[in-house]
Structure 1
Amino acid sequence: MLGFISARQAGLDDPVRLRRAESTRRVLSLELNKDRDVERIHGSGINTLDIEPVEGRYMLSGGSDGVIVLYDLENLSRKPNYTCRALCSVGRSHPDVHRFSVETVQWYPHDTGMFTSSSFDKTLKIWDTNTLQPADVFHFEGTVYSHHMSPVATKHCLIAGHRQEVLAVSWSPRHEYILATASADSRVKLWDVRRASGCLSTLDQHNGEKSKAASESASTAHNGRVNGLCYTNDGLHLLTIGTDDRMRLWNSSTGENTLVNYGKVCNESRKGLKFTVSWGCNPEFAFVPYGSTIAVYTIFTGELITMLRGHYSTVNCCVLQPNFQELYSGSKDCNILAWIPGLREPVPDDLSEKSPPQQHLNPAYEDAWSSSDDEG
Structure 2
Amino acid sequence: MISALQWIRRGAAQSVPDKYVMDDSEVKRIEQIAGENLADAKEQLEHAQKASNGAESMETDTISSEHPELAEYDLDNYDDSENPEAGPNIFSNIHNLSYYPSNKEDPYITLHDDDEEDREDMLIQPTDNLLVAARTEDDVSELQIYIYDQSDEAEGNLYVHHDIMLPAFPLCLEWLDFRTGRKSHLPTPGNYIAVGTFDPEIEIWDMDTLDTMYPEAVLGAQDKTKKKKGKKSKKVNNEYHTDSVMCLAWNKQHRNILASASADTTVKLWDLTTQQCAHSFNHHTDKVQSVAWHPVESTALLTGSYDKTVAVFDSRAPTQRASWKLTADVECLRWDPHDTNGFYVATEDGMVQYLDGRQPGQAPIYRLQAHDKAVSAMDVNANVQGCVVTGSTDGVVKVWDVQNNKPSMVTSRKVKGDLGQVFSVSFCPDSPFQLAMAGSMGQVSIWDLATNAGCRRAFEGRTVMRPQAAVTEDRTVTLPNDDEPESEEEMDGADIDMDEEIHDSDYDEESGDEV
Q: Write the distance in 2 (CA, Å) between the matches of 1:294 and 1:189.
A: 27
Q: Cα gap change, 1:98/1:186 in structure 2, threshold over 3 Å: closer, same or farther?
A: same
Q: Is the CA contact (8 Å cut-off) linking 2:384 and 2:462 kept in structure 1?
A: no
Q: Which residue of 2 aligns with 1:98?
A: 167
What letter is aligned with 2:439?
A: S
Compute the displacement of 1:367 (Å).
11
List aligned pairs for 1:121-270, cutoff 5 A: 121-131=199-209, 132=212, 133-139=214-220, 140-156=241-257, 157=269, 158-161=279-282, 162-195=284-317, 197-203=318-324, 220=325, 222-234=326-338, 235-255=340-360, 256-268=362-374
Q: Which has the higher helix share?
A: 2
1:277-307: CA deviations, max 9, x gaps? 112334x111111221111122321212211
Question: Aligned residues, how many?
Answer: 282
Q: Is the CA contact (8 Å cut-off) linking 2:411 and 2:454 kept in structure 1?
A: no
Q: Is the CA contact (8 Å cut-off) linking 1:108 and 1:115 kept in structure 2?
A: yes
Q: Write the distance in 1 (CA, Å) between the matches of 2:459 and 2:207.
A: 40
Q: Which residue of 2 aligns with 1:30?
A: none
Show structure 1 runs of 4+ deviating over 6 A: 366-369
State the SS of the aligned residue for 1:233: coil
Q: Write the distance in 2 (CA, Å) between the matches of 1:84 and 1:102.
A: 22
Q: Is the CA contact (8 Å cut-off) linking 1:109 and 1:149 kept in structure 2?
A: no
List aligned pairs for 1:103-122, cutoff 5 A: 103-108=171-176, 111-122=189-200
What letter is aligned with 1:288?
A: T
Q: Which residue of 2 aligns with 1:317?
A: 424
Q: Is the CA contact (8 Å cut-off) linking 1:113 and 1:128 kept in structure 2?
A: yes
Compute the displacement of 1:366 (Å).
8.4
Could you tell me which runs of 5 or more consecutive residues in structure 2 were left unpaired when the two chains were aligned. Answer: 12-127, 179-188, 221-240, 258-268, 270-278, 464-515
What letter is aligned with 2:301?
A: L
Of 318-327 and 63-72, more deviation after overlay is shown by 63-72
Q: Cα gap change, 1:159/1:267 in structure 2, threshold over 3 Å: closer, same or farther?
A: farther
TM-score by length of 1: 0.68
Q: Write the distance in 1 (CA, Å) between the matches of 2:411 and 2:155.
A: 26
Q: Is the CA contact (8 Å cut-off) linking 2:10 and 2:430 kept in structure 1?
A: no
What letter is aligned with 2:436?
A: Y
Q: Cα gap change, 1:304/1:51 in structure 2, threshold over 3 Å: closer, same or farther?
A: same
Q: Is the CA contact (8 Å cut-off) linking 1:46 and 1:335 kept in structure 2?
A: yes
State the SS of the aligned residue for 1:316: strand
Q: Is the CA contact (8 Å cut-off) linking 2:391 and 2:398 kept in structure 1?
A: yes
Please state if 1:60 is matched with 2:162: no
Q: What RMSD, in angstroms, separates the aligned Cα atoms of the two structures? A: 2.7
Q: Is the CA contact (8 Å cut-off) linking 2:149 and 2:157 kept in structure 1?
A: no
Percent identical pairs in the alignment equals 13
Please state if 1:285 is matched with 2:241: no
Q: Is the CA contact (8 Å cut-off) linking 2:191 and 2:208 kept in structure 1?
A: yes
What letter is aligned with 2:346?
A: I
Q: Cα gap change, 1:267/1:224 in structure 2, threshold over 3 Å: closer, same or farther?
A: same
Could you tell me which runs of 5 or more consecutive residues in structure 1 were left unpaired when the two chains were aligned. Answer: 1-44, 92-96, 204-219, 345-357, 370-376
Q: Cα gap change, 1:361/1:109 in structure 2, threshold over 3 Å: closer, same or farther?
A: closer
Compute the displacement of 1:160 (Å).
1.8
The higher relative CO (CA closer than 8 Å, separation ≥ 6) is in: 1
Instruction: Specify which of 45, 49, 52 is matched with residue 5 of structure 2.
Output: 49
Q: Write the distance in 2 (CA, Å) between the matches of 1:116 and 1:314.
A: 24
Q: Write the distance in 1 (CA, Å) between the matches of 2:195 and 2:141.
A: 10
Q: Which residue of 2 aligns with 1:307?
A: 412
What letter is aligned with 1:202?
A: S
Q: Is the CA contact (8 Å cut-off) linking 2:397 and 2:415 kept in structure 1?
A: no
Q: Which residue of 2 aligns with 1:340?
A: 448
Q: Write the distance in 2 (CA, Å) between the matches of 1:79 and 1:285.
A: 23
Q: Write the distance in 2 (CA, Å) between the matches of 1:267 and 1:88.
A: 35
